[in-house]
């Protein structure tokens, strides 16, 4: 019963929401709106469980002095500061929570993205080797697009940015749409497997 009941609920709700998508009726829209509200409630409890699990893991790491346990202290301090300032003073524009967000969180995110730029450059250097015809085309297109993003119009004219835009709008967009179609088909097949009970890993086990 511990497995049959969740599988039955998943099948019924999946079937209802699938039918709802194709039924243009105000009752159908009412059902969809109410399901979204319940989804927000469930996500709230899931977030509470996630925060509790995060705190538990880092507390254990600090208690047993595991590797990099000092970073766990920083993580716990950040979670505590965010919760206290958010619930204590709200999230208005001049609140302590927004001060922490604007002057701590956003600079850290900018730093992480800046580091990613160096990793991307090093990965591109290792990947874009003109060993085959396809790799050569990829290398040439990547160089054109990267140079087209740089303001060099006064030196080389408009042809380079226009060529970069053409590459992004046509060959790149065609490949991107093919990838998105594949992702959509994969999502549909995975959803059907979950609704029909074929995929059961979300229950905590393969069977």
Ranges of each domain in the chain: 1-64, 128-198
Provide the pLDDT for residue 153. 64
- For the chain, count helices (H), then strands (E): 9, 0
Tell me the C-alpha to C-alpha distance, in Å, between residue 57 and each of 51, 78, 120.
10, 15, 31
Provide the pLDDT for residue 161. 87
CA separation for the pair 67, 31 (Å, rounded):
49
Cβ 148 vs Cβ 169: under 8 Å: no
Distance from the Cα of residue 147 to its chain's centroid: 28
Provide the pLDDT for residue 117. 78
Please compute the mean of the pLDDT values over residues 138-158 and round it to a whole number: 79
Cβ 98 vs Cβ 91: under 8 Å: yes
CA separation for the pair 43, 59 (Å, rounded):
24
Residue 166 predicted with pLDDT over 70: yes
Please compute the mean of the pLDDT values over residues 93-117 and round it to a whole number: 89
Percent of residues, the chain, with pLDDT higher than 70: 95
Cβ 147 vs Cβ 164: under 8 Å: yes
Phi, psi of 93 (to 5 degrees): -60, -35
Low-confidence winner among 85-94, 95-104, 130-139, 150-159 (lowest mean pLDDT): 150-159
Burial of 12: CB neighbours in 10 Å, binned 0-12, 13-18, 19+: exposed
pLDDT tier at 178 (50, 70, 90 boundaries)? very high
Distance from the Cα of residue 21 to its chain's centroid: 24
CA end-to-end distance (rounded Å), the chain: 14
The residues near 203 (Cβ < 8 Å, ≥ 6 apart) are 3, 6, 7
Helix (H) or strand (E) holding 53: helix 26-63
Of 68-72, 118-122, 150-154, 180-184, which one has max mean pLDDT? 180-184
Residue 131 predicted with pLDDT over 80: no
């Amino acid at each position: 019963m511990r497995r049959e009941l969740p599988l039955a609920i998943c099948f019924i709700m999946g079937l209802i929401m699938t039918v709802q998508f194709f039924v243009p009726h105000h009752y159908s829209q009412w059902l969809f709106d109410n399901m979204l509200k319940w989804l927000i409630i469930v996500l709230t409890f899931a977030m509470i469980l996630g925060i509790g699990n995060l705190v538990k893991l880092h507390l254990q790491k600090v208690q047993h002095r595991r590797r990099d346990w000092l970073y766990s202290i920083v993580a716990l301090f950040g979670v505590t500061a965010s919760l206290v300032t958010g619930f204590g003073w709200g999230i208005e524009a001049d609140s302590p929570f927004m001060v922490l967000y604007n002057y701590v969180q956003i600079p850290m995110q900018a730093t992480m993205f800046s580091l990613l730029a160096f990793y991307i450059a090093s990965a591109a250097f290792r990947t874009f080797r003109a060993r085959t015809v396809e790799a050569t085309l990829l290398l040439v297109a990547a160089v054109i697009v990267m140079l087209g993003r740089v303001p060099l119009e006064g030196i080389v004219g408009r042809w380079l940015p226009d060529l970069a835009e053409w590459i992004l709008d046509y060959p790149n967009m065609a490949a991107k749409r093919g990838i998105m179609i594949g992702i959509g088909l994969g999502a549909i097949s995975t959803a059907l497997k979950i609704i029909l009970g074929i995929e059961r890993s979300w229950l905590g086990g393969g069977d």
